[in-house]
Structure 1
Amino acid sequence: MGVVIGLSQRINMKKAAKKIPLIRKASGNFIQISLVLMILSTSALYFYVNNLLQREEEEELYSTTARISAVLEKEDLDLQLSPMVEVRKVSGYKPEILKDTIIYDPSQREMETFRELISYQKIKGQYYQISTRTLVVESDEVLFAIVVSYIIIILIMFVFLYYFNQKTSSKLWQPFFANLQTMKAFSIHAEFPIETVDSDILEFTELGGEIEVLTEKVRADYRNLKQFTEDVSHELQTPLAIIQAKIENMLNEGLLNNQQYQSLTSIQRDIYRLTQLNKRLTLLTKIENNQFLKIQPIYLHVILEQLIANLSEISPVRIDYFSQATPDVTMDVYLAEILCSNLVSNAIKYSYSSQPITVKLDKHQLVVSNYGKNPIHHPDKLFIRFYKESEINRATGLGLAIVKRICVLYGFNITYSYKEDKHIFSVEFDSFI
């Protein structure tokens, strides 16, 4: 279950990055593809219509030239209709010229762009240069009107298709989104299995079926693990308590030599350590399985005051406690007591030369510090279960791991630092408030 919870936490952390909803992503792709197609089709239409109009203009020029040649065949005339038609006698042939040219148009009183055809004809033994022209401006206006009309039509179709695509996609993916919401609301503590939404789409139906199978397996694994943890914890506590009681009886009888006494004392310490290890592993498993559901507002200053009063009676290390204000924290009371107890007990245990430890509480954080001769060699491993800086210490290596899991469970931020010969642990509550 720890793996499942860890995976869920990694997924939640990734949510901090900006994500795009599926429908919006699909619509975005639709917009991009449509824009590319619209640009390509508009360009193709422009060049096609432009080429078509240009061919029509050229056909008109050739037709006008043929009519003029026919008139010159019948009679010798000096045809001049500037700037549309000009006929001149020349001395011989030259290559035909078809081009755009800018000529002053008297009717418009401005320079205009014309499509011009200059051809050479031999009629009745005389060479003629026949220049025919047609305005290009009119064809440009027609081309512009066609392209604009096409763009407007495409845009209207684009808006309609976009709206239609949004509606159809939303309806199409509705079973997927419904099942996604069901998955988000899923809890391994639920009494009944989840029910997914059926769909007429094969893949969505298969996905819903797999979700039901997977979640039911997770629930079954959780129940088995929970039962196993409880059984192991219960079965271990009883024999350990019996062994502990028998050893205490043997020690109290006083019939042992020194070597036997030392051996039994060592066994007694190991049994106590094993008992604490069992309790803490059980607690850690319950935290990771989110079994502490009794959440309520708590007063950390009250918990700390009671804890420090109890520890001061049995510990030779002085505890300096400073409370400016209590943070607004909502959590399980038992886990709050464990959090404070593990931090303060850890500071007492590792305080250098029994120097006093300091506990500070304000509106935003809890800080516990103790004197230390040297900094931690691997501070990044402090909150890993079973990690110990030295094997000389017989601690379980689970105290800080439990503190870390409690902080992760409630969204607190715990940090470690070494400043001015002090080991400092800070629990910030701002991320939760």
Structure 2
Amino acid sequence: MTKKTKLIKKTSKTFLLTGLVLTILSTAVLYFYTKYLLQQEIEEELYSIEARIVDAIKDKKELFSLPPITEIYKVEKLKPQIFKDTLIYDPAQKEMEVFREFTTYETINNQIYQITVRDLVVENDQILIAIVASTITIFVSAFLFLFYFNTARNIKLWSPFFKNLEHMKRFSLTSNQTIELEDSDVLEFSELNNEIKTLTNKVRTDYENLKQFTENVSHEMQTPLAIIQAKIDNIINDNSISDKQFEEITSIQKDIQRLKILNQKITLLTKVDNNQFDKVESVNLINLISMKLQSFKELSANNIVFNYKEELVVSMDVDLADILINNLISNAIKYNSRKEDILIVANNKSIIISNAGNAELLNPEKLFLRFYTETNNKQSIGLGLTIVKKICDLYNFNITYYFKEQKHFFELTFK
């Protein structure tokens, strides 16, 4: 998954990187361009000295060399002029210094002269370094000022967006309040606000319609199912039916009962999805499990062992807590493959329920999906664990399954 970065941080990082690259490039360009200009200036000075020497020779003035600044020799043939840097010992500084050297050959009064002039470039390098250093200082100072000014400006500019983002995070379909958004003088933000309001209003309307439809369907199904159940009871109580008819009608009665349970569970899932269980109070799950076990002992032949050392109190809807514990224990009883004890272990942070099993599930990741089952039990509704997962998600609980030592384990962890 790509690492997420805050918008202001990302834009600031881009600004920093861009500024750094521009500073490096501009400093390099300035360095070489200034160096080129200084070198051109030295070479012009060397040309000027050489021209004076040529004029002096033409006027037959007395000349003498002053090594290493100027050197004048008579030679036999002409050669190309040369510019180069050379190291010469400076007795004043007592160290080697860099000189720019210009050597040229001139024919004056039918005599060929080699004229060499040199100029010290050390001072020029120091000027170059000073110029680059001052330029970098100015660049960095201006860049830092622009960076903080730009960051402050961006924070102010994006402030409506961030505030609206917080409003959207707190938006709830179950609330009748219209989402309130911060107005902005930025055209794009204003258009975004209008689209968000339109979208949220449409989503709320669709949600209310779907909720009403689900409730109506659930309510309308209860009445015909109850009527059919009553008529079948009357037929069964009639002594005129045959044994075969009795078996078929009994089978129909069981299917009707299954439809009623299915309708109740789907209605419950819908209510959980719609956050209709908004009453939250402290529930002692230890007491709730103990009460449930009394009821299960009367209905089931399985022996259930309950071990706990501490109280376990969570904040949730009481009815959903009852459904959560009931479904987990019912699931353990239904799929307990051997006549072994069902074990429930609880502490102040978790509940673990285990039952005997023949083999590990083939697709444990699908265990909490609607209507999923790995058994051949056609009477299984397939919604019990789905309801458990929905309740856990609603209250930010964690439900996990694992198989160990020929047993199925469901661990419910509370944060």
Match 1:47 to one of 32, 49, 55: 32
CA contact (8 A) 1:87 1:131 kept: yes
Measure the CA separation in 2 of the matches of 1:326 and 1:18. Answer: 40
Cα distance, 1:239 vs. partner? 2.2
Alignment of 1:212-231 (within 5 A): 212-231=197-216
CA contact (8 A) 1:328 1:363 kept: yes
Alignment match, 1:7:
none
Alignment match, 1:321:
306
* 1:406-431 Cα distance to aligned partner (Å, 9 max, x none): 122222222222222222211122xx
Match 1:376 to one of 361, 373, 392: 361
Measure the CA separation in 2 of the matches of 1:109 and 1:346. Answer: 97
Measure the CA separation in 1 of the matches of 2:362 and 2:117. Answer: 96
Alignment of 1:404-423 (within 5 A): 404-423=389-408
Alignment of 1:112-127 (within 5 A): 112-127=97-112
Match 1:35 to one of 20, 29, 53: 20
Alignment of 1:29-428 (within 5 A): 29-428=14-413
CA contact (8 A) 1:316 1:354 kept: no
CA contact (8 A) 1:347 1:370 kept: yes
Cα distance, 1:284 vs. partner? 0.8
Q: Secondary structure at the match of 1:173?
A: helix
Task: Give TM-score, length-normalised by structure 1.
Answer: 0.91
Cα distance, 1:51 vs. partner? 0.8
The residue type paired with residue 224 of structure 2 is P
Measure the CA separation in 1 of the matches of 2:106 and 2:113. Answer: 5
CA contact (8 A) 1:83 1:105 kept: no
Measure the CA separation in 2 of the matches of 1:374 and 1:160. Answer: 68
The residue type paired with residue 295 of structure 2 is N
Measure the CA separation in 1 of the matches of 2:363 and 2:106. Answer: 101
* 1:127-163 Cα distance to aligned partner (Å, 9 max, x none): 3222111111111111111111111111121112112
Cα distance, 1:188 vs. partner? 0.7
CA contact (8 A) 2:352 2:409 kept: yes
Measure the CA separation in 2 of the matches of 1:25 and 1:366. Answer: 44
The residue type paired with residue 175 of structure 2 is A
What percentage of aligned pairs have identical amino acids?
Answer: 50
Cα distance, 1:167 vs. partner? 2.2
Q: Secondary structure at the match of 2:324?
A: helix
- How large is the RMSD of aligned CA atoms in angstroms? 1.8
Alignment size in residue pairs: 415
Q: Secondary structure at the match of 1:380?
A: helix
In structure 2, the gaps of 5 or more residues are none
Q: Secondary structure at the match of 2:197?
A: helix
Measure the CA separation in 1 of the matches of 2:18 and 2:346. Answer: 59
Measure the CA separation in 1 of the matches of 2:304 and 2:114. Answer: 116
Q: Secondary structure at the match of 1:352?
A: coil
Deviates further, 420-429 or 242-251: 242-251
CA contact (8 A) 2:360 2:403 kept: yes
Cα distance, 1:296 vs. partner? 2.2
* 1:275-329 Cα distance to aligned partner (Å, 9 max, x none): 1100100111111122211122221101100001111012111111111223442
Cα distance, 1:32 vs. partner? 1.2
Measure the CA separation in 2 of the matches of 1:315 and 1:276. Answer: 19
* 1:212-256 Cα distance to aligned partner (Å, 9 max, x none): 011111111111122112212211122222322333344345443
Alpha-carbon distance change, 19 to 378 in structure 1, aligned in 2, over 3 angstroms: closer
Deviates further, 39-48 or 165-174: 165-174
Task: Give TM-score, length-normalised by structure 2.
Answer: 0.95
Alpha-carbon distance change, 342 to 381 in structure 1, aligned in 2, over 3 angstroms: same
Measure the CA separation in 1 of the matches of 2:362 and 2:110. Answer: 112
Cα distance, 1:95 vs. partner? 2.1
CA contact (8 A) 1:27 1:162 kept: yes
In structure 1, the gaps of 5 or more residues are 1-13
Q: Secondary structure at the match of 1:162?
A: helix
Measure the CA separation in 1 of the matches of 2:213 and 2:156. Answer: 45
Deviates further, 326-335 or 405-414: 326-335
